[in-house]
Structure formats: structure tokens, C-alpha cells
Structure 1
């Protein structure tokens, strides 16, 4: 970086700066996407608990045949056999 004003722009340092900026942008984008997914998960679970009155142990199960599509998850190994 200090040599650029004296010797002119060289390819290797410029490429390293470009790659570093690109990797930084990808990293920040991935971190923001991760925060968005975690936030959506927390928001949706709070919504389901507060609006629909579901227990925290309930999870969505599309196509289960029940009226709202929800089925409680087993809470212990002995209750893992849920009749269908």
C-alpha cells in the first residue's frame, strides 16, 4: 500500500485487496442472513405461543391431517411412540 504512490499500482497487492474486500462482503452478508434466520425463528415461535396458545414443545408438521397441522413433540424416550 505504501509502495503504490512510489512504484505505481501492482497486480498482486491490488488483487489481495480486492479478494479481501470480497471475502469481507460475503462474510458480513452471511452473518446478517444468520441473524435474520434466528430472529425469524424466535419471532415465529413467540407468535405461535402467544397468538395460537401453543406450548413451546409443539412444532409445525404440514400434512399431519389435524385441523391446524400441529402435533406435540415427544418429551421423553418412553413417549416417542405417538399413535397416528
Structure 2
């Protein structure tokens, strides 16, 4: 995903879903790029899902201290937005 490319919400959602289904394919850079694209599209739900993928990637990489705050942030957002 290039930083200058215009990307559709459907494409962002497909990438997030792919990262959720096969977590081994997700890495930190990809999750951060997808989150940025979702934010640019105004899709907070997709941005939150990308943050969860990022938290998972961080945890799998041994960065638990960096992962935990992201998990709490997304959980807090989901509760406030009633997003399941």
C-alpha cells in the first residue's frame, strides 16, 4: 500500500479482514499503513480493527508493553461506540 495511493474503504476492509484471518501475514508496517488509510477514509471501525491487528503483531514480536495499551484503547472505543 503506497502512502500516496487513493484506496477505497472496501479495499481497506479486505486487507484488514485478510490480516485478521491469517495473522501470520500481518506485520507492524502493514497494520499501521492500513490504519492510516482507514483514518483518512473516516472509517473509525476499520482503524480500530487495524489497531487490533497491530497490537497482535506487536505481541507476537514480544512487544507486550506496546501491545497492551492499544488493546485497551480499542476496547474503550468499542464500548463507547457500542461496536462489537
Same fold (TM over 0.5): no
Structure number with higher strand proportion: 1
TM-score (norm 2): 0.27
The higher-RCO structure (CA 8 Å, 6+ apart) is 2
Please tell me whether Structure 1 or Structure 2 has the larger radius of gyration of its CA atoms: 1
TM-score (norm 1): 0.27
